[in-house]
Amino acid sequence: MGDVLTINFKVMLMDGTVLYDSWQEEPVQFEYGKRFDTQGLVEGVAMMKEGQMAHLIVPSSIAFGEYGRQGLIEPYSTLLYDVELLDIKTKDEIKKETIRQLAMNKKESDAFLAKNAEVEGVVVLPSGLQYKVLEKGDGTESPSASSRVKVHYKGTLIDGRAFDSSYDRGKPAEFAVNGVIKGWTEALQLMKPGDKWQLFIPSDLAYGNNPRPGGIIEPNMALIFEVELLEIVK
């Protein structure tokens, strides 16, 4: 009890329809003994050893039972699981590992920003935010903190891994300037419509110690964004 398990798993209906596949996203952690997904999955993982893979056939009585899951799983459905048990750690080990990772992320981010500050064309603001003008637009006014704006953007980690892009979605994002991370709020108030900037944002102006769960952004990570201010909506 209390061990933290890291697994990859895929859950399917009997006809092969895939409902969820963590291999397509990120491994999943859960604390053994606490409710997670289905009783059948937890019981199956409990019989596995670290590094093992298993195929589970989970009857409805230890899955979603007579209720199913509306729009996804019919009542009394048997489920199929492919499971890989990647890692078993105690909560103390997880805590120590997290502390080490936080320190490493901060060290790497600080080193990147210090080196980047010397790059030609990069402007460093008193807050620590850095930016580089990629394209200059013909707009004449900057938005205020309370303005709504329309932008295209893409975000990457300092190692180049992408985590978000409005370009990929084929649709600009619209939001209040003061409704996003601090680094964006500061930069957007300096930009004008048509401008395209590259932002280098310290973690304390991004997500700090509280990144969105389930993504590749870890605590204390600096982030890089290309932001194109398309329009001040109001």
The catalytic position among 110, 181, 204, 216 is 181
Active site residue 163: yes
The catalytic position among 207, 217, 224, 232 is 207
Active site residue 225: yes
Active site residue 76: no
The catalytic position among 153, 195, 217, 224 is 153
Which backbone phi and psi does 107 adopt, to 5 degrees?
-60, -45
The catalytic position among 64, 81, 112, 164 is 164
Active site residue 200: no
The catalytic position among 131, 217, 225, 232 is 225
User: Which 3 state secondary structure label does DSSP give 202?
Assistant: coil
The catalytic position among 20, 32, 163, 175 is 163
Contact (CB, 8 A) for 153 and 227: yes
Query: How far is it, in rounded angstroms, from Cα 180 to Cα 215?
Result: 17
Active site residue 207: yes
Query: How far is it, in rounded angstroms, from Cα 31 to Cα 150?
Result: 41
Query: How far is it, in rounded angstroms, from Cα 233 to Cα 229?
Result: 11
Query: How far is it, in rounded angstroms, from Cα 193 to Cα 126?
Result: 24
Query: How far is it, in rounded angstroms, from Cα 184 to Cα 197?
Result: 11
| Active site amino acids | 153, 163-164, 181, 207, 225
